[in-house]
Amino acid sequence: MLKNVSFVVFSLATCASALCQGDRITVIKEALRPGDTEPVWVNISGLTGEALETLEFDLYVQGFNFTNAANAQYLISGSNNGNLQARAIDAINKNTLVGRAYSGASLRRQVHAFADDFVQALGRKGIARTMIAFKTEVGRNSEIRVADFDGANVQQVTRDNTIVAAPAWVPGRFALFYTSYRLGNPNIFHHDLATGRQTVFAKYSGLNTSAAVSPDGRRVAMILSKGGSPDVYVCNIDGSDLKRLTETREDESSPCWSPDGQWICFAGKINERRALLRVPANGGPVQRIATVGAGNPTEPDWSPDGQWIVFTRQSRDFEICIVPANGGRGGDATILVSGEDPSWAPNSRTIVFTRRQGDGRRVLYLLDVFTKQIKDVARISGSNSQPSWAR
Amino acid sequence: MNFPKFSTLAVVLMALSLAATGCKTRKIGPTPLGSRSGAYGDGRPTELSGGIPIGRPGEEVWPVEIGGGPTASFDPDQMHQDRAALAAHTVYFDYDSSAVRPGDEAKVDAVAAVLASDLSAKLLIEGHCDERGTEEYNRSLGERRALAVRQALAMRGVDPARVATRSYGEDRPADPGYGEAAWSRNRRAEFVLLHPQ
């Protein structure tokens, strides 16, 4: 509500000043509603084959859609003979937003760079050159892999020949935490992707899982059962200063951080009912995060801009839901699509998640939460789950 | 810690006795309460000086569930693992529950008896889930199940320090099929008997 009001005031102010100067208003920032926002219409001409496919994929999962030149808000034209040349103009005032020739790496990489240049010219954060990590089934076991966000360049991270799960990126670093059973017990490992060096991070008795690194990279939240039940713990990135944040007989799971590092949100129980909860990262009373209309919530992930918490609702099947992080809209949750284990992209609008297929396979999908535009990451074969977006 | 409960009880007892008195007096004739004056002033509480605080040291009570303490710290992988010995006693759970079913109590009795008869033996309880929960949720639920069984054993006199727990979540189904028949076989806790190597 408040956001909408301030938005209106902002637009009125912009209008007023714009009218005084006799300008045309070209960019009106929309109030974004999850699942209920119009895509931004774009026309692409001149690009072919892989370049066109790649650009369409990149833009579609960030809330753009495609139409003819007459109806488009932005016009993208270019050529991809060897290298990429591309230009994006605003269809209304004909201003050039981007006009660049790209070289180096691959054509695919050049297109990703242009996609980032284009969305950044619109004041958004580009995600076309980001990566994801995920769990891949290998027979009875599973391993961790990483890939570009669109599924290109899959690389195997672990060869533990056991269950490896719950990968989580260290913010701003080429490194992961994950859970592996390679020593028998489920323990948390740190893995430097540049050197391949794997180190044990948490090896307490019982369960060690679901590591989540704070946005400043200094602390790790996780689930340990050393105290006699699965609870939320936090410690420094070097493993020191371990602190128990919850003390319940119930099972807590899936901690994540608020972007300011003040809160840890997780799935737990309150009054015998499943709920999303949050606890101060330095310890303190646990508070409930309302998810009205979406019972049995699990797997929360807090958007990098702090506005939203996306989570999985467990009913008969699984559904991806979203709720304002700070109780806005009366805590009303919006059910987006079927799926589970969502993870935010750095742009705070695209998520990657898992969907179980009829044949039992698990497939990764990308979703723009505002337009509900969805694409499967078909380039990755096999059965994959628990995606984590590098940010 | 015990004072609030005691004072609540005292207030309830006083209220009850007042109510009983009220019933009695009503028969005789109403005697209004709280309308006295004189030595009792206007009836409002007044603080007087000279009170001596009464402490009751050493009376704090800290209840802990039997078998609810820290997880066992020995490494089951440093011991000989006998998966067959207790395979018949695998216990099963209701959907999304970690409560040991009444029908499975006899299995827990049997496992407790084995551990009582051989004090050099230890136990690993492996907790499992069906695929209907999300993955990390299930990894926590599987641990809760293993810990619930450990607690049931502790109630039967088994030292929890002899019992390690390990959750596999939904990653090691007994039956890879789809549907309640398979799922009910997957919501389980398996017993692995451990002997010194």
Q: How many domains does chain B have?
A: 1
pLDDT at B40: 46
Residue A239 contacts by C-beta under 8 Å, 6 or more apart in sequence?
A: A201, A202
CATH assignment of the domain containing B89:
3.30.1330.60
The answer to whether domain A37-121 and domain A131-389 are alike in fold is no
Q: Could you report the per-residue pLDDT of B104-162, keeping only the tens digit for each?
A: 999 999 999 999 999 999 999 999 999 999 999 999 999 999 999 999 999 999 999 99
State the nearest Cα–Cα gap between B194 and chain A, in angstroms: 14
Does the domain made of A37-121 have the CATH classification 3.40.50.10070?
yes
DSSP state of A215: T
Mean pLDDT, residues A186-208: 96
Confirm whether B111 is domain-assigned.
Answer: yes
d(CA A272, CA A240): 33
Confirm whether B52 is domain-assigned.
Answer: no
Confirm whether B67 is domain-assigned.
Answer: no
d(CA A199, CA A158): 12
Q: Which residue has the tokens 């499967």?
A: A376
Q: What is the mean pLDDT of chain B?
A: 82
Instruction: Note the CATH number of domain A131-389.
Output: 2.120.10.30
Cβ-based contacts of B68 with chain A (< 8 Å): 228-229, 249
What is the CB-side half-sphere exposure of residue A35 using CA atoms within 13 A?
11
Mutating which of B64, B78, B139 best tests the A interface, going by the most A Cβ atoms within 10 A?
A: B139
In chain A, whose CA is at the least distance from the CA of B151?
A228
Confirm whether B13 is domain-assigned.
Answer: no
How many pairs of residues across A and B have Cβ atoms under 8 Å apart?
115
Name all contacts of A103-109 with Cβ < 8 Å and 24+ positions apart: A107/A50, A107/A51, A107/A80, A107/A82, A107/A83, A108/A50, A108/A51, A108/A54, A108/A152
ipTM of the complex: 0.89
Cβ-based contacts of A312 with chain B (< 8 Å): 134
DSSP state of B1: -
Q: Where are the domains of chain A?
A: 1-31, 37-121, 131-389
Q: Could you report the per-residue pLDDT of A249-301, keeping only the tens digit for each?
A: 888 999 999 999 999 999 999 888 999 999 999 999 999 999 999 999 999 99
Query: Which pTM does this prediction carry?
Result: 0.84
Nearest to A205 among B71, B144, B172 (CB): B71
Residue predicted with more confidence, B49 or A21:
B49
Confirm whether B35 is domain-assigned.
Answer: no
